[in-house]
Amino acid sequence: MNVLSPETVRELSERGYALTRPLSGPDEAAALASSLGTLVPQSTGELTYDIQAHPGFEKVRDTRSAHALRPHTEAPGQHPPPRYLALHCRVQATCGGGQTMLADARAFVAGMDERTRRFAHEREMYWPSYVEDAGVKGHHKPLVERTERGTINRLSCTLLRTGDYSEGLEERAGRQEPPLGDEGVAFARQALDFFRDHKVSVLIPEDAMLIWDNHRMFHSRSSFTDTRRRLTRYWIAD
């Protein structure tokens, strides 16, 4: 039966992330991801999403480019966002880059001063969905939301700084106003500083899968030059 090992489940609960053994292929990866909860459609409408560098995105900080991604949580515009994320490494980058980096938002919130903590819990902002159309809406939520089922941490350093999830590396003319103004920009700076000092970097072994609690962990990615790198992403609701 394709289920996560007790050790993997324990690591996921205790530290917020876990790395599986190498898997036999996409079917086993999907089965293991499904053992955590329900797979939910992503921005394409599919249950899987291939993360790979594509031509034409060289000047954009985006999942479809090879550039580093700033700390964020996944799909903060969904209510609720997917509880877990899983990345199945199909082709590992041989350049040493393309590492997935994680940091615990609980520790970040615990270290805030009282003013910043109130700001994070009380100040709502609009989190767009990844696909804005008539049937897909974002939500107004605080950075840290207390719910009956637990706390949901939301973050997009890029959105807080530029007003958009994707960031053009050269052209600034299309940028929107930061959604929380100077306070939001300062919050993003604090998150970046925390992430720099507390992150764990994981180069996912080929065929293995990295899973983390998306309500708890911030994640980002280092840049890479080996554009053969390919991962399959799963969103999981508990």
Spans in the chain with pLDDT lower than 50:
173-174
**Quick check: is 1 in a domain?**
no
| Cα 121 to Cα 136: distance, rounded to the nearest angstrom | 25
**Quick check: is 113 in a domain?**
yes
CATH number, domain of 209, equals 3.60.130.10
pLDDT for the residue numbered 135 = 67
**Quick check: is 150 in a domain?**
yes
| Cα 53 to Cα 180: distance, rounded to the nearest angstrom | 31
pLDDT for the residue numbered 67 = 95
pTM equals 0.94
| Cα 97 to Cα 115: distance, rounded to the nearest angstrom | 37
| Strand-pair partners of 17 | 212
Structure tokens at 209: 């899968």
Residue type, 210: L
Domain range enclosing 57: 6-237
**Quick check: is 48 in a domain?**
yes
| Cα 1 to Cα 28: distance, rounded to the nearest angstrom | 10
pLDDT for the residue numbered 134 = 60
| Cα 123 to Cα 68: distance, rounded to the nearest angstrom | 28
**Quick check: is 166 in a domain?**
yes
| Cα 28 to Cα 9: distance, rounded to the nearest angstrom | 16
**Quick check: is 218 in a domain?**
yes
Number of domains in the chain: 1
Q: What is the pLDDT of residues 112-152, one digit of tens each?
A: 999 999 999 999 999 999 876 666 789 999 999 999 999 99
pLDDT for the residue numbered 203 = 96
pLDDT for the residue numbered 39 = 98
DSSP single-letter state for residue 160: H
DSSP single-letter state for residue 205: P
Phi, psi of 220 (to 5 degrees): -150, -175
